[in-house]
Amino acid sequence: MAEPYDPQAVEAKWQQRWEADGAYQVENDGSKPPYYVLCMYPYPSGAAHQGHVRNYTFGDLLVRQRTMQGYSVLSPIGFDSFGLPAENAAIKTGIHPRRFTEARIEELKSSLKRLGASYDWRREIHSHDSQYMHWNQVIFQSFFDAGLAYRKNAPVNWCPGCQTVLANEQVLADGTCERSGDLVEKRDLEQWFFRITSYADELLSALDDLEWPERVKVMQRNWIGRSEGAQFRLPVQDSDDQIEVFTTRPDTAFGMTFVVLAPEHPLVAPSTKSEQADEVRAFVERVRNESDIERLSSEGPLDKRGVFTGSYAVNPFTGQLVPIYLADYVLMTYGTGAIMAVPAEDQRDYDFAKAYGLPIVRTVQPPADWEGEAYSGDGPRINSEWLNGLTDTAEAKAKAIDWLEEQERGERTVNYRLRDWLLSRQRYWGCPIPVIHCPEDGIVKVPAEDLPVLLPDDVEFRPTGESPLRYHSEFLNVTCPKCGGPAERETDTMDTFVDSSWYFLRFCDPWLTDAPVDLAAATRWMAVDQYIGGIEHAILHLLYARFYTRAMADRGLSPVDVREPFERLFTQGMITMDGSKMSKSRGNLISPEKYFDSVGADSLRLFHLFVGPPGDDFDWGDQTDQMIEGCSRFLGRLWRMALPDGAASAGSSEVDDEMDKEVHRLIARVNGDYERWSYNTAVAACMEFLNSLYKYVQSPSGYSSTAVGFAVDSLLLLLAPMAPHITAELWERRHPEAEPLHVQPWPTADESKLVVDEVTMVVQVNGKVKDRLSVSPAVTESAAAELALASTRVVEALAGRSPRNVIARPPRLVNVVV
RNA sequence: GCCCGGAUGGCGGAAUAGGCAGACGCGACGGUCUCAAACACCGUUGACCGAGAGGUCGUGCGAGUUCGAUUCUCGCUCCGGGCACCA
């Protein structure tokens, strides 16, 4: 009886071996070609869940395969260790976020190690490391110097009960605070922003060249939301004020019959006539107290959604007066906060015009069969003086803009939906923003020699929702570095997306003590050749990282020519349960530990690879455990076959060309599957091959042990990135003198052994399979047709009828048509 | 509303360039081994008709192109995701 496979003993042995040998440590000055594989570093929420297992299995597979292929593979790992959950836990339990987080990191690390994931652990980064915070702050100050980080007033969610600002996520759908239940108000408060909009154009256009999933690129394009048009000014009647509007359809401006301002627009007060004042004030007040969600989702009658100011502006195209309205659907945050309304060509303006009895003037002739209301398609211009007759919208637009520019009333502009990144958080557990507010000197950077600004540990976590830093007088009260007078330290901390926006650059040389990024090391490794993570980061994290990489390059903080952080991106599918995302709060997490303790990590890894395409979601269900068992059974079969005294230990020493060819076909097939991330079919191919190997060694006519030896060794090499422990152990037992499996060269198929002498040709009659013939792969069209017509099965099916047509596609198929 | 995906046996999925639908695994059924069980191994397994040979149907629905469509085109249905008064 062969020795049974003991996954726990074997896996522990190899994990220790790899770590002790530094098997996946790479140096920055190696001679092998560099390759950078990175999985999105995790938020440490405790022991790993199946989503982590899947993510890190894909990443580890690639690291191991590229290493065998001769690359020097950079495979770092770190932890996104700042963030709200730790602080909320502190408020609840009194445990300091640092202690809480570090304990969670240890749990997660232990899971990753038991998975057998291979990292250069010397490069580990935590975003709350004081070193990392230091460089975070240096980068921030550099951005501040360049005007890329700035402060401005922004409308934020303010909870009167908690006396603090809330993140959008903390405001419930009904506009109340998730903690106190109070109605959340909008307040203008000073916040920190990154000027990501100044990179909008580049962030958009550079997407085209990235090897990213198309849907992620589409999401980013929509998020940036570029639109071309014109911006122009309308004089307000009896006033020096001018209303600036943005439009993508300047060609329809002759049909502008009113103007609409956002309720927050600065010209609202000056344009409000006294007889309208009460109504306007009530309206503005009401909109102000509506949550964003209410305001943006309201679908009710339009007559409650606007109000007349009593004033008029001049439409520069017609010279006519048009009334100025306010409406809640005009947003202060997009364009200029004011629009020209053209009801004939815009449905929402049309509805508004109907509700308020405003005139509708068509400037584009709709087609004769047009039955709709507003018409936004092409057509001849009418009622538009010097645009009349033009049918091409682009041409009409260009002409309208030229006219505006000639008249100096407006100009061609591009508008983006993208807004600057609000990065300040009124929270403790994040990286402090390194500035001081001085009543005399304004905002002053914390001097370089005083960096990093660290978080004081002796703070009290009170359930006020406000940052404990505000109550820490030692932290708060400082002297101004410029004038020496009393000043206050900034108590806002940075959004945790800041931490994850450049960690991949730091990994290149995390030991560097005089700059955030080593330019030489980053030049060698960047861009990340393969980035792997969840689709949920399609917009924010990936966009911020792309912005940061550019801004750092432009500030000399990273290599100038590295403008994109992630060359290739793979977004793996989610693990769900009954269709919803697995999460701690839902209580449906399935821990990998129980599988490590039973079938072992290799079986679980293999299952995750085998269960379906890596990009698809997988629903964890009743049969899942049995599928994992199936993977474990396969590894058991592999074990018994591959043990030196196992299933195939007694064959003859003759050569077997047929078996050899089968092995080369397997190698070619699995390599193809690896390259296109089709791991499920790669596993299937290996299973199929092992099945046929069992048939081979059990065949009564005997087998070649040389051929089986080559077959098993090849299988071990191909499976090494997927199931690294069991394959390493078997390799060592089979080849005690050889180098270990993970440094063996990756197998490639011998092209000459892929040619076959015979293939199966399908013969159809009227598209229905009637026969299968064995033919030479070089069979000619006429020979194939002849063979097909000679088949007795075909003759029977024809029943005397003569074929009308014979379509031969040698050597795969012949279709006889009657 | 707009933009992207997706739909194949009892289940997860395969079919890489329009050419054998259902690889591989799970489950189910039958068997071998065993006192019995576990493990392992062997066989069957899309539906329907047929004793069998074999036949008919079959990739969400309806059309179309083609000798031939899971694959391409058009029109729907359902499910999932993203954006959503963006001027």
Q: How many CB atoms lie within 10 A of CB A392?
A: 13
Q: How many CB atoms lie within 10 A of CB A148?
A: 22
Residue environment code for A296-326, b if the CB has 16+ CB neighbours within 10 A, otherwise e:
eeeeeebeebbbbbbbbbbbbbbeeebbbbb
Between residue 787 and residue 806 of chain A, the positions with Cβ below 7 Å from nucleic chain B are 797, 805
Distances in whole angstroms, Cα of residue A115 to Cα of each of A8, A135, A597, A721, A725 = 11, 32, 11, 12, 10
One-letter amino acid for residue A393 of the chain: T
A627 touches strand B (CB under 7 A): yes
Q: How many CA atoms lie within 13 A of A787 on its CB side?
A: 23
The total number of residues written for chain A in this structure: 818
Distance from C-alpha of A114 to C-alpha of A596, rounded to nearest angstrom: 7
With a CB cutoff of 8 Å and minimum separation 6, the contacts of A101 are A44, A81, A86, A128, A429
Cβ-contact A396, A382 below 8 angstroms: no
User: Which parts of chain A sit beneath pLDDT 70?
Assistant: 1, 162-180, 290-303, 463-466, 579, 581-587
A760 touches strand B (CB under 7 A): yes
Distances in whole angstroms, Cα of residue A187 to Cα of each of A151, A158, A280 = 15, 6, 19
Q: What residues are paired with A809 via a beta bridge?
A: A813
Tokens representing A480?
């101004």
Distance from C-alpha of A285 to C-alpha of A624, rounded to nearest angstrom: 55
CA of A714 to C1' of B33 (A): 32
Between residue 633 and residue 672 of chain A, the positions with Cβ below 7 Å from nucleic chain B are 633-634, 636-637, 669, 672
Distance from C-alpha of A517 to C-alpha of A511, rounded to nearest angstrom: 10
The residue that minimises its CA distance to C1' of B5 is A215
CA of A753 to C1' of B20 (A): 25
A673 touches strand B (CB under 7 A): yes
* A318-346 pLDDT, tens digit each: 999 999 999 988 988 889 999 999 999 98
Q: How many CB atoms lie within 10 A of CB A524?
A: 18
Distance from C-alpha of A377 to C-alpha of A352, rounded to nearest angstrom: 20
A630 touches strand B (CB under 7 A): yes
Between residue 381 and residue 420 of chain A, the positions with Cβ below 7 Å from nucleic chain B are 415, 417
A347 touches strand B (CB under 7 A): no
A770 touches strand B (CB under 7 A): yes
Nucleotides of strand B lying closer than 7 angstroms to a protein CB: 3-5, 10-16, 19-21, 23-27, 39-42, 55-56, 67-69, 80-87
**H or E element in which residue A261 lies:** strand A258-261
Task: Say what the alpha-carbon torsion angle A677, A678, A684, A685 is, to the nearest 10 degrees.
Answer: -80
Nearest nucleotide (CA of A690 to C1'): B24
**H or E element in which residue A666 lies:** helix A657-675
A612 touches strand B (CB under 7 A): yes
The residue that minimises its CA distance to C1' of B4 is A215
CA of A3 to C1' of B28 (A): 32
CA of A54 to C1' of B70 (A): 28
A774 touches strand B (CB under 7 A): no
CA of A764 to C1' of B69 (A): 16
Between residue 49 and residue 108 of chain A, the positions with Cβ below 7 Å from nucleic chain B are none
Terminal-to-terminal C-alpha distance of chain A: 61
Distance from C-alpha of A252 to C-alpha of A270, rounded to nearest angstrom: 28
Nearest nucleotide (CA of A351 to C1'): B85
Tell me how far the alpha carbon of residue A88 is from its chain's centroid. Answer: 26
CA of A463 to C1' of B1 (A): 42
A692 touches strand B (CB under 7 A): no
Distances in whole angstroms, Cα of residue A40 to Cα of each of A98, A181, A571 = 21, 35, 10
CA of A786 to C1' of B87 (A): 70
Between residue 250 and residue 269 of chain A, the positions with Cβ below 7 Å from nucleic chain B are 262
Nearest nucleotide (CA of A246 to C1'): B87
Strand bridging mode A477-479 / A486-489 = antiparallel
Distance from C-alpha of A784 to C-alpha of A775, rounded to nearest angstrom: 8
CA of A533 to C1' of B6 (A): 21
Between residue 19 and residue 58 of chain A, the positions with Cβ below 7 Å from nucleic chain B are none
Model pLDDT, residue A286: 85
Ramachandran region, residue A215 (left: φ > 0; alpha: ψ -120 to 50; beta: rest)? alpha
Nearest nucleotide (CA of A225 to C1'): B86
Alpha helices of A298-332 — where are they, by DSSP H? none
Instruction: Return the closest-CA partner of residue A721 out of A116, A111, A42.
Output: A116
CA of A791 to C1' of B22 (A): 27
Nearest nucleotide (CA of A219 to C1'): B82
Nearest nucleotide (CA of A675 to C1'): B16
Model pLDDT, residue A699: 84
Model pLDDT, residue A422: 87
**H or E element in which residue A212 lies:** none
Give every strand in the sheet of A580-581, ordered side by side: A580-581, A575-577, A618-619
Distance from C-alpha of A522 to C-alpha of A517, rounded to nearest angstrom: 7
Distances in whole angstroms, Cα of residue A449 to Cα of each of A134, A481, A514, A743 = 11, 11, 12, 46
For residue A433, the 8-state DSSP code is: P
Nearest nucleotide (CA of A305 to C1'): B85
With a CB cutoff of 8 Å and minimum separation 6, the contacts of A563 are A202, A206, A549, A550, A553
Instruction: Return the closest-CA partner of residue A586 out of A620, A609, A625, A540.
Output: A620
CA of A652 to C1' of B16 (A): 37
Model pLDDT, residue A719: 98
CA of A221 to C1' of B49 (A): 56
Q: How many CA atoms lie within 13 A of A362 on its CB side?
A: 16
Strand bridging mode A321-327 / A258-261 = parallel
Model pLDDT, residue A163: 64
Nearest nucleotide (CA of A339 to C1'): B87
Nearest nucleotide (CA of A692 to C1'): B24
Between residue 282 and residue 321 of chain A, the positions with Cβ below 7 Å from nucleic chain B are 295-298, 305
Nearest nucleotide (CA of A631 to C1'): B25
CA of A604 to C1' of B70 (A): 31
Whole-complex ipTM: 0.95
Between residue 203 and residue 242 of chain A, the positions with Cβ below 7 Å from nucleic chain B are 214-215, 218-219, 222-223, 225, 227, 229
Nearest nucleotide (CA of A535 to C1'): B81
CA of A293 to C1' of B83 (A): 14
With a CB cutoff of 8 Å and minimum separation 6, the contacts of A685 are A666, A669, A670, A673
Q: How many CB atoms lie within 10 A of CB A30?
A: 12
Nearest nucleotide (CA of A812 to C1'): B19
Cβ-contact A97, A88 below 8 angstroms: no
Tell me how far the alpha carbon of residue A373 is from its chain's centroid. Answer: 40
Distance from C-alpha of A666 to C-alpha of A671, rounded to nearest angstrom: 8
* Residue showing tokens 């085209």: A208
Distances in whole angstroms, Cα of residue A490 to Cα of each of A338, A340, A438, A443, A480 = 35, 41, 10, 9, 12
Distance from C-alpha of A686 to C-alpha of A662, rounded to nearest angstrom: 12
Instruction: Return the closest-CA partner of residue A610 out of A591, A589, A633.
Output: A633
A2 touches strand B (CB under 7 A): no
Between residue 538 and residue 557 of chain A, the positions with Cβ below 7 Å from nucleic chain B are 538-539
The residue that minimises its CA distance to C1' of B83 is A222
Cβ-contact A466, A162 below 8 angstroms: yes
Helix axes A724-734, A601-610, angle to 10 degrees: 120
